Chains A and B, each alone.
Chain A
Amino acid sequence: MKYFRVIGLAVALCLALIPGNPFISQASEDTQCFKCHTSAKKLIEITREIAKTRPALKSSETKGEG
């Protein structure tokens, strides 16, 4: 029993010392959101695609300082 406790503590200590919790990173990195939003190439492609279909959001009639 004591042996398992020591091993358990050692494993926990190692995990705590590794920069960036690997389990946490894994959870985020696995999502499609993360894969796409961390890729400039993908984002450029998608935003260009959006720009073709989406009209301007700002009126050209605005004049002066807000």
Chain B
Amino acid sequence: MEPLAPHEKIFVDSDIVDDENHGEIACHECHGGNPDDPDWKTAHKGVVKDPTYPDATSACGDCHDEINENYQKSLHASLRPYRLTIDKRSNPNAVIRNKVECAMNSHCYQCHSSCGQCHISRPNSVEGGFLDGHLFQKKPPMQEVCTACHGSRIEKEYFGENKGVLPDVHKEKYMKCDKCHTGDEMHGNGKDYANRYEVENGSKCLDCHEGVYGREAKNVITHRIHRDKAGCQVCHAQPYKNCSACHVGKDEKGLTFFKTKASWLDFKIGLNPLKSEKRPEKFVTLRHIPVDRGTFDFYVKDGLSNFDTLPTWKLATPHNIRLKTPQNSNCNACHGNESLFLLEKDIEDKEKEANKGVIVPANLIPRKQKWQPK
């Protein structure tokens, strides 16, 4: 995403004084600094760029107390899944673990959000800048906020920007992120979750498509046969982006950087690594994630010595849904079609152990069907 010009980032629309909710709050009440000092250099002493991170209590909490309380545990703020998965892969040695934590602080934990970085400015990860002259946005704009961070995978999938892959059907219906991912989901409900699939008020296909198992539904037989066996994306997603070999470090000026290998488009059905009451399906779509055994090598060798405790092919919900896809064109487009399934031969030797729980053994690949539902 192209960053805003420096002056655009901090230009305030004078209409903000007409905002009946926020217009009466003076700048320095949230940001600090000296509002009476005409010298910008000294006036900015003590200024807080984002007064809503890491704690929004003083800036937002007085009025939005419930959201503020819950938000501390929302995945966008807590980044708990990152912490848990890296913890699990980390070397148990306290000194090494501490170095991994330092690296995480410099890199991974820099990707977070806050009240301000959704409702007032672009996220820091895309160099920030006010969304609309600091006017408060009740609904964050999709492409300046949501896909500013979720750009490499979700944006490209949803908008059909991956070569040869159609946009998501929901995009063609002019649906924006918040149609499925509500404010309540984003703000959290005060509970700690280990991953986004556990979030109770997270979006589910069935929230809108609850009728697919009903007697009157189209393809009811197909849907009922596959219920709890295959995730919706197994039949309705298209090839999606996969990444690998992320390595982080600091350059000679001390600036942080990351390097990944070139991403690739793939579609792989594997065994569900996160089976739960909410997600009971045996088969789900899996995406290769960027983590690598040597991700933190710049900071400490063997930082992820327990790398094999979690798969590198992770449960994914690609955002490029279509009603008709090559794999659902008929039963045998998928049944017996080995190329769609994550097999042992698809995995690099160094990652075989990590992925043994998601690889589909040959005897579990659904057999070709003679019968086809009408």
Q: A: which residues have CB within 8 A of B?
A: 19-21, 24-25, 27-29, 31-34, 36-38, 40, 43-44, 46-48, 50-51, 55-66
Report which residue of A36, A38, A46 has the largest number of chain B beta carbons within 10 angstroms of its beta carbon: A38
| Contact, CB under 8 Å: B152 / A65 | yes
| Contact, CB under 8 Å: B259 / A59 | no
Chain A neighbourhood of B14, CB < 8 A: 29, 34, 38
| Contact, CB under 8 Å: B251 / A60 | yes
| Contact, CB under 8 Å: A59 / B257 | yes
| Contact, CB under 8 Å: A64 / B40 | no
Closest to A50 in B: B6
Q: Is the CB of B370 closer than 8 A to any CB of chain A?
A: no
Stretch from B197-205, B260-268, B279-287, B316-324 forming part of the interface with A: B260-268
Q: Closest Cβ of chain A: how far from B37's Cβ, in Å?
A: 6
Size category of the B interface is: 35 or more
Chain A neighbourhood of B251, CB < 8 A: 59-61
Chain B neighbourhood of A20, CB < 8 A: 17-18, 23
Chain A neighbourhood of B164, CB < 8 A: none
| Residue from B5, B34, B262 within 8 A of A64 (CB atoms) | B262
Q: Closest Cβ of chain A: how far from B9's Cβ, in Å?
A: 8
Closest to A23 in B: B24
Stretch from B25-33, B92-100, B300-308 forming part of the interface with A: B25-33
| Contact, CB under 8 Å: B10 / A43 | yes
Mask for B52-84, Cβ within 8 A of A = 1, else 0? 000000000000000000000000000000000
| Contact, CB under 8 Å: B255 / A57 | yes
| Contact, CB under 8 Å: A62 / B253 | no
| Contact, CB under 8 Å: A43 / B253 | no
| Contact, CB under 8 Å: B35 / A33 | yes
| Contact, CB under 8 Å: B38 / A65 | no
Closest to A54 in B: B6
User: Once bound together, how far apart are the Cα atoms of A33 and B40, in whole Å?
Assistant: 8
Chain A neighbourhood of B40, CB < 8 A: 32, 36, 46
User: Once bound together, how far apart are the Cα atoms of A21 and B5, in whole Å?
Assistant: 32
| Residue from B26, B31, B152 within 8 A of A66 (CB atoms) | B152
User: Once bound together, how far apart are the Cα atoms of A58 and B255, in whole Å?
Assistant: 6
Mask for B233-272, Cβ within 8 A of A = 1, else 0? 0000000010100100111010111111111000000000
User: Once bound together, how far apart are the Cα atoms of A37 and B11, in whole Å?
Assistant: 5
Chain B neighbourhood of A31, CB < 8 A: 26-28, 35-36
Q: Closest Cβ of chain B: how far from A6's Cβ, in Å?
A: 27
27 A-B pairs (CB sep. < 8 Å): A19-B18, A20-B18, A24-B23, A25-B17, A27-B24, A28-B24, A32-B40, A32-B43, A33-B27, A33-B28, A33-B33, A34-B14, A34-B27, A37-B12, A38-B13, A38-B14, A40-B11, A44-B7, A56-B253, A59-B251, A62-B257, A62-B258, A64-B246, A64-B260, A64-B263, A65-B243, A66-B152
